Every structure is written in C-alpha cells, then in structure tokens.
C-alpha cells in the first residue's frame, strides 16, 4: 500500500472534498484531542527505516554522476508506477541525501531522515529550532515530486520562501526536478509558471489568495467534477488557472501558519469605486469618537471595543443633531462609531501599522512584517488614513473569503514541521487531523537560559539592555535583542545610539536589507535589534571566534502574544550544537499587563503574572479559532444540501 500516490483521476480530483464531522462526532473528537500525546518515533516504526536508507546511501555514494542519474530515472519511473511505497521511499531518501551531500556538502542527519519520514506519513515533525528543517523538507518534497505529485512547501513569509527555494535548488535540479518560489510582487503569468514547477515554495497568504482567485475564475464550475465537465465542452480553459490543485503540502512553521494565522479568514477583495464610501460620514464618525470617553461611553474588553449604555444614549443625541444620512439607522450608526473608536484607540501607529510613502501599511502581528497591498475592511482603513493625514485609498468589496482551517483540509496529503508544536498538538489534531511527532535533537542543546530580569519602567528596561549589550558584545560575542513591536525596537535603537553602541535594525521599516543584516548578525561584537521578524526561520551563522567566546546571546525584551513565539526567538541561539544564551527582560508597563485585573496585579511576582497573562491571551486566541472552525463546519453542513463549497 503506497504512502502517497497521485490520484489517477488527477483532473477531477485536484483537491480533497471536505467531510466535516457530524455534530455527534464532535465531542468525541474534542475528547480525543485533549488526550492527544505526541506520537513516539518508536511506536511509528520510523527508526526501523534508517538502516535501509543508509544501505542504499552507502551504495549510491560510490556511483559516478552518470550512473546516479540513471538510478534517479529508474526510481522516478518506479515511483510514478507504484506510488510512494515504504521501500521506494527509503530508496528516494537515500538518493536525496546523497545528492544533497554532493551539491550542498550537507548529508541529512538521522533525525532529519526521521523528520522527513514523519512528514511523508502525513504528520507534523516537531524538530528543535536550528535542527535544519529547510534541508529536512527536501526529503518528502523531492520524494513526492519524483512520484509526479505537485508539492507545495509553505512558509510564513516571502523572504523565507525565496531563500529556501534558492538554497535547495541545487538538490532539486540534480534530481531532475523543477523548483520555484511564489512571492508577493509576481504578476499572474509568472505565478502560473511558478506553480507549474514540481516543487513550489510559497507563503500561506499568497497561496490562499491565488486559490481564491482560481475559485473566482471557476465560478459556477467550482466543484471538481463540474470543472471537468466544463473543460470537456470547452467552457473552462485551465490555462487561466494559477494552481494545479492541492496535492501535497509541507507546512513549515506549522503552528504559526495553521493556527496563529487562522484566527481571521482571508478575504479576497476588488475595487468598489470611490462612490462606495462616504468620506464625510467617516469624518463625522471620527469626530464623534473623539468626544467619547473610555469607561464612560465605551469599554475595552479582550481586545474589542463596546459602547456602554451612556455611550449609546450620547450617540442617539448626537445623531439627531447630525440628522439624516448614515446616522438614521441605529445599528448602522453604532457600528460606524465603534469602527471609529477602534481606529482611534485600538490600532496604534508603529505597532499595528506604519506610515510609508503617504500610505498606511499594515504590520502582520505574527511575523512583524509589512503586508503590502493589504487593507482593513469596511472603511476602517480609510478612517485610519484620515487620522494619519493620508489620502484615503479606494474602498474594496469582498469577492471571496476562506479560512485556513478549510483551505488546508482540502489537501490530499498534508504535513508540517515546526520547533514549537507540543503545546498546540491537541488543536492541530482537532482542526486538521494532524499528529505531532517529536523528533529528538541531533546533538544535545548547549543553550543556557539566564534568569528573567524584571524592572519597573520601560525607560529602565532600555537602559538596562544598553548596558547588558555593551558588556556581552565586549566579550566578543554577538547579541540579538528582540522587541514586541516596531515602536519598541526604535525606542531601544535610540537608547543604544545615545550610548554610542553601533547596531543593525531588522523590523518592518528596515526590511529591504534583511539577508545582509542576518549575514552580519553573527560577527564578533555585532548587535542586532529586531522585532518578531527575526523570530522564525532566521538562521544566524556565527564566526568561529564568536563560537569560542560563547556564541550568540539573545535578549527577549518582553513577552510576545504566545509563548511559542518567545521559544522561537530563544531558538536563534545555540543552533546545531553551538553555544549560546538567552534571557528575558520584562517590566510593569508592558502591554500584556493590560490583560491583568487589579487583583492580579497585586498578586505574585511580575514574571509569573506576565506568564499568566500570556496564557490567558493564548487561550483566548484558541477559543477564537475554535469558534471559527465551528462556524466553518456548520456552514459546510448547511451547504451540503445544495452541493456547493466555499
């Protein structure tokens, strides 16, 4: 029985049809997810595959280029005929390992082979940060691609998609496979060409938007069978579609892509024309919101803003004075003012967005990167633009929307890898039916966790960090400091500049030089200040003398939304057996403290309280995702009768 096989009827089955669990099954799934434990390598029998791979690899190592190419062609034929059977998978892994050794000078370690096998079996490989997931992904990706299965390697940002595709190209090329990266700036014809490659590296956002564009194009032929029928009568030309279907996905940073980003659905929008938005009305709403006082007219709860009874009364009075227009209907006017309050009080410049070239550009809260060409919906974008004195952009209308939960479950074969999956394994199983396999590290980690420092004020924090940075960099080590947002990274940068400490910056405003900044960050005495942009995937290679002096020191200047992000940042140091250390610096004024009640503020030590606040925030985000998933399932059940999807 093959592990993977290209469906014979690939034209009619480019994606999996969703079968949501029935309402009686759901409590059972919930219970199973609570009891879920990471699958043991031993129980899955993964280790027993290693001797076979090594036997093949030893034989391949002695072959010359010509014979190796013949071997590859023979294997490709067998994989295409039989699918990826365990025997052929061992053979393919050995071939990929040998090719990587020749082309990149890196032969996959045993733990990478185990990670690759876990993914080939449709699981999530939890591999420690810095263990070499980029190289690991080549094993299942190339094996599936050799069998003729289109592969998507999905990651969190364009920088990583382009970097990983480029780094791994020699391996794929030597295996006779084509590889491409899809990045934001690409026009449709280049995207289409890229998706035609055997292995495609792309981000979750680009992929889902392209999928939505395709569903728009398919229109009433959205169901695979309808599309096939339309093709036969010439009503549908595949040349205009971008994707080749959803066959095999390897999701890098799986917890970030499949959970953190899954709180909000992706919305494909199109221009609505200037008239669709009444700018005067937005201005009135903003002016009204400026009169409203917190706790009297509105309250903030769990990241949302609600009008109080007094706020509603005030709005009714003011609406009568304004008269007519958008102010007549009660729910409409309340919604308008609520949006204006969100624009005024919730979204902060240099935290949630930045202003560049006269435009308001959203910063992705998970990756710390600018999301070019993305905008908030329903007038919120234009309200923020008015507040920032920018020219209001053209409004958009929603064309299609899709949740990540729904999208990823459409893949015939779904797998992933990450350094941080353990704490969300239940949710990964509940949502995607994906099991987590914990892979041991190649070498024991030498990372030292220094005690947490807690200070009273932000200013004390920056001062303390400046002193610490000077001390550690002076020892010939390299230092990376991460802050929770762009504004904080700039405040710290200013403090360092005042102290005469030379440093590089990596944040949403200084993103053009990313590869160079990362390349310099491991030099002797280098100091780098970054936001969570440096949190995932950033691989800082250290100079030999830096390793001898103690490696990279990471200072985490404040907790992030999820403890997984903190762990990812800590994972920038002590990679691949190098030495390294990490410490956390927190202070009373931190944003997460907003989450604490007065009673909690008075209780316990600051770090413990902050940790609790972080856990509450994580739980809230998990609840939001669960609600979205539940809504998705309900929608599926209702649509089931009319046979539609999406």
Ligand X SMILES: Nc1ncnc2c1ncn2[C@@H]1O[C@H](COP(=O)(O)OP(=O)(O)OP(=O)(O)O)[C@@H](O)[C@H]1O
Minimum distance from residue 566 beta carbon to ligand X (Å)? 14
**For ligand X, the closer CB: 108 or 461:** 108
Minimum distance from residue 438 beta carbon to ligand X (Å)? 14
In the DSSP assignment, the letter for residue 439 is P
Nearest of 358, 364, 362 to residue 374 by alpha carbon: 362
Q: Is residue 203 within the footprint of ligand X (CB under 6 A)? A: no
Q: By CB under 6 A, what part of segment 492-551 binds ligand X?
A: 536-537, 539, 541
**For ligand X, the closer CB: 443 or 457:** 443
Judged by DSSP in three states, 40 sits in coil
Q: Which residue from 71, 98, 131, 566 is in contact with ligand X, where contact means CB under 6 A?
A: 131
Judged by DSSP in three states, 186 sits in coil
Dist CA 194 CA 203 (whole Å): 13
- CA 262 vs CA 218, 501, 626: distances in Å: 25, 40, 10
**For ligand X, the closer CB: 18 or 167:** 167
Q: Which residue from 75, 113, 135, 174 is in contact with ligand X, where contact means CB under 6 A?
A: 135
Dist CA 1 CA 402 (whole Å): 34
**For ligand X, the closer CB: 539 or 590:** 539
Count the residues of the shown chain that bind ligand X, applying the rule CB under 6 A.
21
List the structure tokens of 480.
């990376």
Q: Which residue from 133, 152, 205, 314 is in contact with ligand X, where contact means CB under 6 A?
A: 133
Cα dihedral 168→64→79→196 (10° resolution): 40
Q: Which residue from 419, 550, 551, 558 is in contact with ligand X, where contact means CB under 6 A?
A: 419
Q: Is residue 132 within the footprint of ligand X (CB under 6 A)? A: yes
Dist CA 398 CA 628 (whole Å): 18
Looking at the chain, the number of H-run helices and the number of E-run strands are 25, 20
Dist CA 50 CA 55 (whole Å): 9
Minimum distance from residue 27 beta carbon to ligand X (Å)? 35
**For ligand X, the closer CB: 132 or 416:** 132
Q: Which part of the chain contacts ligand X (CB under 6 A), choosing from 126-134, 315-323, 479-487, 626-634?
A: 126-134
Q: Which residue from 14, 130, 368, 550 is in contact with ligand X, where contact means CB under 6 A?
A: 130
132 in a known ligand binding site? yes
Non-local (6+) Cβ contacts of 72 within 8 A are 95, 146, 175, 176
Nearest of 3, 4, 17, 1 to residue 245 by alpha carbon: 17
Phi, psi of 138 (to 5 degrees): -65, -25
Helix (H) or strand (E) holding 581: strand 579-587
**For ligand X, the closer CB: 213 or 553:** 553
Q: By CB under 6 A, what part of segment 149-178 binds ligand X?
A: none
**For ligand X, the closer CB: 108 or 123:** 108
Q: By CB under 6 A, what part of segment 88-117 binds ligand X?
A: 106-109, 112
**For ligand X, the closer CB: 56 or 109:** 109
644 in a known ligand binding site? no
431 in a known ligand binding site? no
Q: Which residue from 205, 247, 430, 575 is in contact with ligand X, where contact means CB under 6 A?
A: 575
Q: Is residue 553 within the footprint of ligand X (CB under 6 A)? A: no
Minimum distance from residue 625 beta carbon to ligand X (Å)? 22
CB 400 within 8 A of CB 257: no
Q: State the residue number with the nearest CB to ligand X.
A: 132
Minimum distance from residue 349 beta carbon to ligand X (Å)? 30
Nearest of 504, 579, 575 to residue 538 by alpha carbon: 575
**For ligand X, the closer CB: 139 or 370:** 139
Non-local (6+) Cβ contacts of 464 within 8 A are 453, 455, 585
Question: In angstroms, what is the C-alpha Rg of the chain?
Answer: 26
Binding residues vs ligand X (CB under 6 A): 106-109, 112, 127, 129-135, 419, 536-537, 539, 541, 571, 575-576
Residues in the annotated binding site for ATP: 112, 130-134, 539
Residues in the annotated binding site: 112, 130-134, 539
């Amino acid at each position: 029985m093959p592990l993977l096989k290209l469906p014979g009827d690939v034209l009619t089955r480019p994606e999996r049809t969703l079968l949501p669990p029935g309402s009686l099954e759901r409590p059972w799934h919930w219970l199973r997810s609570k009891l879920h434990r990471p699958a043991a390598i031993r129980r899955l029998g993964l280790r027993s595959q290693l001797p076979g791979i090594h036997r093949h690899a030893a034989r391949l190592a002695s072959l010359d280029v010509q014979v190796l190419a013949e071997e590859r062609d023979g294997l490709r034929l067998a994989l295409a005929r039989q699918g990826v059977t365990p025997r052929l998978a061992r053979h393919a892994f050995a071939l990929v390992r040998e090719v990587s050794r020749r082309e990149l000078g890196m032969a996959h370690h045993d733990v990478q082979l185990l990670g690759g096998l876990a993914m080939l079996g449709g699981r999530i490989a939890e591999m420690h940060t810095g263990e070499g997931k980029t190289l690991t992904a080549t094993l299942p990706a190339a094996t599936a691609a050799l069998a003729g299965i289109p592969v998507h390697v999905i990651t969190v940002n364009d920088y990583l998609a382009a970097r990983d595709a480029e780094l791994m190209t020699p391996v794929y090329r030597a295996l006779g496979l084509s590889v491409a990266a899809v990045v934001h700036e690409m026009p449709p014809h280049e995207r289409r060409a890229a998706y035609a490659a055997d292995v495609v590296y792309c981000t979750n956002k680009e992929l889902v938007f392209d999928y939505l564009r395709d569903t728009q194009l398919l229109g009433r032929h959205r169901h695979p069978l309808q599309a096939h029928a339309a093709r036969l009568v010439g009503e549908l030309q595949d040349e205009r579609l971008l994707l080749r279907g959803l066959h095999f996905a390897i999701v890098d940073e799986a917890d970030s892509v499949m959970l953190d980003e899954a709180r909000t659905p992706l919305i494909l929008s199109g221009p609505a024309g200037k008239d669709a938005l009444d700018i005067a009305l937005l201005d009135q709403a903003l002016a009204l919101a400026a009169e409203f006082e917190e706790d009297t007219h509105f309250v903030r709860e769990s990241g949302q803003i609600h009008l109080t009874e007094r706020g509603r009364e005030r709005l009714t009075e003011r609406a009568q004075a304004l008269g007519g227009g958008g102010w007549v209907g009660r729910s409409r006017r309340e919604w308008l003012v609520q949006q204006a309050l969100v624009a005024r009080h919730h979204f902060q410049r240099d935290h949630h967005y930045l202003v560049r070239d006269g435009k308001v550009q959203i910063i992705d809260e998970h990756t710390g990167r600018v999301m070019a060409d993305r905008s908030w919906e329903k007038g919120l974008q234009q309200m923020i633009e008015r507040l920032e004195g920018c020219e209001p952009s053209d409004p958009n209308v929603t064309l299609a929307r899709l949740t990540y939960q729904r999208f990823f479950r459409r893949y015939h074969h779904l797998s992933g890898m990450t350094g941080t999956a353990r704490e969300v394994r239940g949710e990964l199983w509940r949502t995607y039916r994906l099991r987590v396999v914990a892979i041991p590290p190649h070498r024991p980690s030498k990372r030292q966790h220094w005690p947490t420092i807690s200070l009273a004020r932000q200013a004390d924090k920056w001062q303390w960090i400046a002193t610490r940075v000077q001390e550690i960099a002076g020892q010939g080590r390299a230092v990376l400091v991460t802050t929770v947002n762009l504004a904080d990274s700039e405040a710290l940068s200013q403090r360092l500049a005042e102290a005469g400490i030379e440093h590089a910056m990596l944040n949403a405003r200084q993103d053009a030089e990313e590869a160079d900044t990362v390349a310099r960050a491991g030099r002797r005495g280098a100091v780098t200040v970054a936001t969570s942009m440096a949190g995932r995937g950033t691989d800082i290679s250290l100079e030999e003398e830096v390793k001898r002096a103690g490696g990279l020191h990471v200072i985490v200047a404040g907790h992030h939304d999820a403890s997984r992000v903190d762990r990812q940042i800590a994972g920038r140091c002590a990679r691949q057996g190098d030495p390294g250390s990490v410490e956390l610096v927190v202070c009373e004024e931190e944003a997460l403290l907003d989450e604490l009640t007065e009673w909690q503020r008075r209780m316990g030590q600051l770090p413990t309280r902050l940790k609790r606040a972080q856990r509450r925030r994580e739980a809230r985000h998990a609840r939001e995702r669960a609600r979205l998933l539940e809504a998705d399932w309900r929608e599926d059940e209702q649509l089931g009768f009319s046979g539609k999807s999406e």
